[in-house]
Amino acid sequence: MFLYREMTGFGATPLTVGIYAGPADGLGLEFRRPARVGIPGLIVIVLCVVIAIILGRRISAPIRALAAGSTSIAALDFEHVVRLKSSRLRELDEAANAFNRMTTGLRWFETYVPQQSLRRLMAWDTPVESEHREITVMFTDIAGLSTLSEHMLAVETAIMLNEHFAILVDCIEAEGGTVDKYLRDSVMAFWEPDEDGVSVDGAIHAVRQIRHRVTENNIVRRREHRVAPCVRIGIHTRNAIVGNIGAPGRINFTLVGDEVNVAARLEQLSKKIGPAGDANILISDATAALAKDRDGLTHCGTHEIRGRDGSIGVWSLD
């Protein structure tokens, strides 16, 4: 290294004064010292970046899981909601515990509120006003349950009912129906109008599937020497009041009206008319008139309905 400068004022001729420093003077050591310090510093920086990435991923993983679970809950897809793991970070651990408790509550809530009704209520920003709509109503009942359960333990009766209801609900919901309520051994369900304004075809398809599934299940139950429940079904289509019914703080999204009772009366009428079998199905003239698929429909004449003036046309579904 050469350092020099010109100096004047010391005579007529300017002077050039300089200094030289080389390896012998230890200059290389001074240049190597920053390099020796810089390399460890660079290693520390790289390690910090790697550790920051690892920590970021560990922190973001539960957040991504929380976001994915929230998306599934928003879609009411509770089946694919994974329970969140606990975290060493207090805030994330508290969020995971709260999310898991919320998911458990919503899963129980889903068992009491039909998912179709819940989706409908979530789509509306304001409380649902009751309205008249053309609805297809279904009532089901197990034939002679009192007699069947006389020789069964309480737990056996409960298992049979749960198995029976599982078949009915599966068939009803697969065809777009809503299970409104359970009444002892009965089910009340309904279908709202589709895009074409018709609510009949889904109910017809559902009862055909119910007949098929109940018959298959009873074959197995009889083979195993268990009680085989036969189902009676009544279906009617008419305008009914649909909406929130009940007291403030305890309401049901359901339907009421005299026309709703006709389906229940048809189910009771199936004790007297219609073919005997694992599933006896009667539908009203109003429902039969709107059915596109009339295969298997047999007219059974007109019959008086208990608690109702006049008579209505009745059809059986073979």
The pLDDT score that the predictor gives to residue 275 is 65
What distances in angstroms separate CA 301 from CA 35, 107, 222, 238, 284, one per listed residue? Answer: 104, 46, 34, 19, 10
pLDDT at 121: 62
pLDDT of residue 122: 63
Sequence letter at residue 220: V
CB 65 within 8 A of CB 82: yes
Which CATH code for domain 123-317? Answer: 3.30.70.1230
Distance CA 4, CA 9 (A): 17
* Burial of 212 per CB tally in 10 Å (0-12, 13-18, 19+): middle
Evaluate whether 283 touches 289 at the Cβ level (below 8 Å): no
pLDDT at 213: 92
Would you call 190 exposed, middle or buried from its count of C-beta atoms within 10 A (0-12, 13-18, 19+)?
A: buried
Low-confidence ranges of the chain (pLDDT < 70): 26-31, 109-130, 195-198, 243-253, 274-275, 307-308
How confident is the model at residue 118, as a pLDDT?
65
> How many angstroms from the chain centroid is the CA of residue 251?
21
pLDDT of residue 269: 85
Q: How would you class 214 by CB atoms within 10 Å of its CB: exposed for 0-12, middle for 13-18, buried for 19 or more?
A: buried
What is the spatial distance between Cα 186 and Cα 168, in angstroms, rounded to a whole number? Answer: 10
Distance CA 218, CA 37 (A): 84
Domain boundaries, the chain: 24-112, 123-317
Is residue 81 within 8 A of residue 105, CB to CB? The reply is no
Locate tokens 């010292």: which residue? 33
Output the six-digit token pair for 313. Answer: 């046309």
Q: What is the pLDDT of residue 248?
A: 66
> What is d(CA 209, CA 35) in angstroms, rounded to the nearest whole number?
81
